[in-house]
Each structure stands twice: as structure tokens, then as C-alpha cells.
Amino acid sequence: MQGRALEDILAQVKPSDTGLRNNGGGHFNHALFWKVIGPQIGTSQAGPEGPLQRRIDASFGDLDTLKKTIAKAAADQFGSGWAWLVQDLNDPDQLFVTSTPNQDNPLMAKIVPAAGQGRPILGIDVWEHAYYLNYQNRRTDYVGAVLDRINWSAVSTLMA
């Protein structure tokens, strides 16, 4: 697989490819998380702009509704996993929110249902390891804090 893009490997990964699925997915997911989260509140107060803002408004109505939709997906993900904002590659103007268990992600076309497949542009880690030190079991508070620190400019660069 040397020389292949991780995104392409994940698009082909099968349910039985446990090592690739967990470690390849885990690397991709965390790398994306570090890209889209700002270091502290106040550094990313600029909201979405340009095509990202238009796509958020067209898909969700407004930014606040998008944040609520992500927060609900994060809260409803049972056990460990991720909440995602995803670009629909069949209709790039369309964005949607979904979640996946463990280290799966919306690139995994042989694992994730068709309605949940696309290009992830924002991901929030909802494994307990992401929040238990500072938030104990309060996943909702942690997710709210992350959503206040999103670097929307970075999210924008991840769109196709």
C-alpha cells in the first residue's frame, strides 16, 4: 500500500481489515480533528465564510442549527466514535451530519451505509478518552466546548 493515499486505502477497506480500519481510520480521524480545532476560544471566532458558509446555510439553515445537529449526533453516538460534518461528493453543495462507531469514518464506502458516505470536513472525537480528564462523563459539555473552538477556515480548506 506504500505510495497510496490514506483516503484511497480507507475507501477500499473491508469490514474484516481490522488493523487498517482501526489504525488507518484512527490516524486519519485524529489528524483531521487536530486540523479543525483551534487552540483556544477566541482564536476562531470568525465564522464560516464564502462557499462553506453558503453550503451550511443551504444544508442546515444557519450555523447554529448545524452546531445543534452535530451536538445531537455526538450525543446519540453510542459508545466510542466520531461525529462528522460531511460533504456529499455526489452533490458537493450538500453537507450533512453523521456519526460512526470506533475509528470508522465516512470515507469507508465498504463499511458505512451509503447515506453516511462522503468527504469528512469536520470531525469530533467522542471516545471517552477525548474528554474524561476535563469533563468526566459530560460529553455534551465537551462537544459544546469543541464547537466553540472550530477553525472554520481550516474546515473550508477540506472541502472538495
Interacting residues toward Fe ion by CB under 5 A: 125, 127, 130
Cβ contact 17:9 at 8 Å? no
- Comparison of 104 and 125: residue with beta carbon closer to Fe ion: 125
Give me the residues paired with residue 96 across strands: 86
Q: Which is nearer to Fe ion, 87 or 103 (CB)?
A: 103
Name the residue whose CB lies closest to Fe ion: 125
- Report, in Å, the least distance between residue 30 CB and Fe ion: 6
Tell the smallest beta-carbon distance from residue 25 to Fe ion (Å). 11
DSSP characters over 45-79: -S---HHHHHHHHHHHSSHHHHHHHHHHHHHHS-S
Give the SS3 label for residue 159.
Answer: coil
Nearer to Fe ion, 102 or 156 (CB): 102
Nearer to Fe ion by Cβ, of 65 and 137: the residue is 137
Smallest gap from Cβ 20 to Fe ion, in A, equals 17
- Please say whether the beta carbons of 120 and 108 come within 8 A: no
Q: Measure the N-to-C terminal CA separation of the chain; round to a whole number of Å.
A: 24
Within the chain, residue ranges assigned H as helices are 6-12, 18-19, 25-36, 50-60, 63-76, 132-135, 139-147, 152-157
Q: To the nearest whole angstrom, how small is the minimum distance from the Cβ of residue 29 to Fe ion?
A: 7
Which of 130, 155 has the CB closer to Fe ion? Answer: 130
Closest CB 135 distance from Fe ion, rounded Å: 14
